[in-house]
A = this chain, B = another copy of it.
C-alpha cells in the first residue's frame, strides 16, 4: 500500500500511531467498568482543555452533530443571533434556522464581525448567540471572549463552536461565558474523525427546551453520565473513544500551555513564509480579530491555477486545502493542527514554495528560510 499523504488540512490531521493502535484491540462492552473509565478520562482531560468546570459529554458524531445538539437543546423556538464570517458560521446559522427564530449577523468571509450589530440584536431580544471561534474557512480567529461577555450582559446563552481551536489555541470556556463549547476529535486533539465533545453550563441547563431530539438529547447524556460506570445513552463509537482517550493523554503529557505555544509557533511560521514569498494573507484582522493559530489562509496569487498548484504539492505526498464555496480557487489553506511539528511544516512549505514557482509565481523571498527563523 502506498503511504497515506501527509494531511496538512484544517482537519482531518495526522493521528499519532499510539492513538491509532488504541483502536485495534478487541471490542469491549460499552456498559462496563472499563469503558466508563475511558469516557471519564476523556471528560477529565477535555474539561481542562476547554477551560471549564461545567459538565462535558462526548458525542458519537461529528462537530456538526454537537453544533446541532447545542442549538436543538438550548435554542429551540428562541431568538438566535448567529455571527457569520465564514462557512461554519453559516452552518450554525442554517442549523439555527431549523430550530429557532434565527438572524445572521454577517460580515464577509474572513472579515471582522460587528459587535455593535450583535449588541443591537441582543437589545432586540435575542436569547441565544452562536459564534465560530476559529473560522477555518477563512483563517480568522473571532473574539469569543468579547462575544461571550456581551451575551452574558444581556442574559443570553452563548453557544461557542471551538471545533478547530480547542486543544490548539487558548480557550477559556468559563471565563468567556460559553454556555456550550464544542470541539471535534479530528482537529487540534489529533484523534480520528467521528467524535465531538460539548460542555454545558448550569445557565444552559436551566433553559433547556422541553422538546428535544432523541439521539442528541443532552438530558439523556447527562443522566447516563451520572451512572456508575459512566455511560452514554446509546451505543458509543467505542474504538474512537479509546483513541480519544489516548489523544487526551498525549495532550496531558505535552501540557496544554506548551501545546498552544507550539500551535502558535507553527502557524506563525507558515504566515512568515507566505509573506516572505510575497503572498498576501486572506483574512482582514483588527484589534479583536486575529489570524487563526491553527490554519493559515493565503490568497492564491494572480496567474496561479489553484488546482494545478495543489496538485504539485500532492504529488510530493502532501495535502493542503483549497477554498470552500465562493472562495474555491481564490485561497489555499494550510492546517497546523494537532500533533504536527516543525518537520511536517517545513516539508509542506518546501513543497508549496516549489509548487508556487512551477505554477508561474515569481517568488519574492525565501519562505522556507523565514519559517526556519520562527521554528529554530
Contact = CB atoms under 8 A, between A and B. Distances in A.
A3 B27 CA distance: 11
B24 A194 contact: no
Contacts of A249: none
A209 B333 CA distance: 37
Contact of A29 (B9, B20, B29, B238): B9
Looking at chain A's contact residues, is the secondary structure mostly helix, strand, loop, or mixed?
A: loop
Contacts of A64: 214-215, 234-235
A24 B21 contact: yes
A352 interface: no
Given A21-B24, A95-B214, A30 B4 contact: no
A243 B239 contact: yes
Contacts of A11: 235
Nearest to A194: B237
Contacts of A234: 62-65
A192 interface: yes
Interface in A252-304: none
Given A60-B62, A95-B214, A98-B211, A193 B236 contact: yes
Nearest to A238: B193
A12 B238 contact: yes
Interface of A: 3-5, 7, 9, 11-15, 20-21, 23-30, 32, 60-65, 67-68, 72, 94-95, 98, 184, 186, 192-195, 211-216, 234-240, 243, 319
